[in-house]
Amino acid sequence: MQRDSQIFDLIQKEHQRQLHGIELIASENFVSDQVMEAMGSVLTNKYAEGLPSKRYYGGCEIVDQSEQLAIDRAKQLFGAEWVNVQPHSGAQANAAVMLAILNPGDKILGFDLSHGGHLTHGSLVNFSGKLYQPSFYGVEPETGEINWAKVREVAEREKPKLIICGASAYSRDWNYQALREAADAVGALLLADISHPAGLIATGLLNDPFEFCHIVTTTTHKTLRGPRGGMIMMRKDFENPYGLKTPKGELRMMSSLLDSGVFPGTQGGPLEHVIAAKAVAFHEALSPSYKEYTAQVQKNAQVLAKSFVDRGYKIISSGTDNHLMLIDLRSKDLTGKLAENTLIKADITINKNMVPFDDKSPFVTSGIRIGSAAVTTRGLKEQDMDRIVDYIDRVLMNHDNETILSETRKEINNWMQQFPLFSY
């Protein structure tokens, strides 16, 4: 077969784009060569519906072992008793959990999308808001932080069957204990979606959601630095609270409900090549060097936040506990859209983002979201964060000066050559 140069030329261009720029999208990271090698392997050819040693297809002896390794390593990494590594993405993990434990029309309570929550936590344009009845909690206008007593008030008023915590753009840590007390007060289950800070949680840098949350979902490709994917975990399995029985008349365990939520509930065959890559990433995350990495991610985020504040930028909640921050550009008379479109001209990649109580549309926005996970993988340290903020400030303050923008881009491209990525 003739080589598909159209596609491989594009992949080469994307490779160069990633090498040349400063990557500050909070949900992105750079995986290792061996994670990519596993993803690009012959495992993609295998059908393996079911779970290790309980498959609906023959020839699964080898993928049984690679999937089991992924499960065992994830358990070790998070101190979990039960894990399903098959969700194709974070959204799929949440869909599987909700399908498993809710009926259409049931009430759910999540963190407001416009305050930093995720679409799958009840947004009306998402399955979670269409199939279930959502209500939301948010941050306080004065502090930019969640008031835990108020979340409990909303829970007591709405009486949801599921409370969801976790976010895509919230820079502070979570009080899982207060949320569990709210859940217990109304008989709800508590789900933590740790898609963003999973790596910092695995290495003990943030509060442990497993102690208080019944179920935990995550993506594997953000701070966890694995392939694009998702998973579902529980520290302890327990009997389902809905009275669902097995054919033998025993109460079904939650693990069995959640497994069915993934397959056959919301997915078909698992992506065994991606699951093998997850196993590789978890092995990497169990190493001492990953612990150093996440500590540096957190340090770098704190320096970024401080450098922005020092230059007169407003950070929502005034700082960060994790790897990301939301910047309200209204004090600089800029929009998120203008910032994103201008920064990309200097090869700095960020994303525009709504800020809490935003008066602009999601296509314009008043803010940008910035994260340190990818640049830290690249090897950048504290002093480099200050330099990044200098570049961002220079670009934003000169957004209509094409000469300064292109000179800054050249400077950045040269600088990034000092930080090689990928060994090929």
Ligand X SMILES: *Cc1c(COP(=O)(O)O)cnc(C)c1O
Q: Does 55 bind ligand X (CB under 6 A)?
A: no
Q: Which is nearer to ligand X, 216 or 346 (CB)?
A: 216
- Strands 22-23 and 50-51 come out as unpaired
Q: Where is the binding site for (6S)-5,6,7,8-tetrahydrofolate, in residues?
A: 113, 117-119, 361-363
Nearest to 151 by CA among 170, 124, 127, 132: 170
**Measured from the CB of residue 378, what is the shortest distance to ligand X in angstroms?**
21
**Measured from the CB of residue 166, what is the shortest distance to ligand X in angstroms?**
5
Stretch that binds ligand X, among 89-97, 136-144, 296-304, 337-345 (CB under 6 A): 89-97
Q: Which is nearer to ligand X, 27 or 366 (CB)?
A: 27
How far is the CA of 305 from the CAs of 18, 325, 382, in angstroms? Answer: 23, 7, 11
State the binding string over 225-254 for ligand X (x if CB under 6 A, else -): -----x------------------------
**Measured from the CB of residue 167, what is the shortest distance to ligand X in angstroms?**
6
Stretch that binds ligand X, among 188-196, 258-266, 366-374, 393-401 (CB under 6 A): 188-196
Q: Which is nearer to ligand X, 231 or 339 (CB)?
A: 231
Using CB under 6 A, pick the residue from 110, 116, 166, 371 that binds ligand X: 166
Nearest to 389 by CA among 327, 311, 329: 311
The CA distance from 289 to 299, in Å, is 15
The CA distance from 298 to 381, in Å, is 11
Using CB under 6 A, pick the residue from 21, 50, 90, 110 that binds ligand X: 90
Interface size with ligand X, residues (CB under 6 A): 14
The CA distance from 208 to 203, in Å, is 10
According to DSSP H, which parts of 330-372 are helical?
Answer: 336-343
Which H/E stretch holds residue 185? helix 176-186
Return the active site residues.
Answer: 47, 49, 193, 219, 222, 228
Using CB under 6 A, pick the residue from 84, 86, 120, 372 that binds ligand X: 120
Q: Does 27 bind ligand X (CB under 6 A)?
A: yes
**Measured from the CB of residue 118, what is the shortest distance to ligand X in angstroms?**
4
Q: Does 193 bind ligand X (CB under 6 A)?
A: yes
3-state secondary structure of 234: strand
Stretch that binds ligand X, among 140-148, 165-173, 251-259, 313-321 (CB under 6 A): 165-173
| Percent helix, strand and coil across the chain, each to the nearest 5 | 50, 15, 40
Q: Which is nearer to ligand X, 89 or 267 (CB)?
A: 89
Q: Which is nearer to ligand X, 314 or 323 (CB)?
A: 323
Strand locations in 301-407, DSSP E? Answer: 314-315, 324-328, 348-349, 351-353, 367-371
Which residues fall within 8 angstroms of residue 297, CB to CB, at 6 or more apart? 199, 200, 223, 323, 372, 373, 376
301-330 b/e with 16+ CB inside 10 Å = b?
Answer: bbbbbbbbbeeebbbbbebbbbbbbbbbbe
Which residues would be at the binding site for ligand X (CB under 6 A)? 27, 89-91, 118, 120, 166-168, 193, 195-196, 219, 230
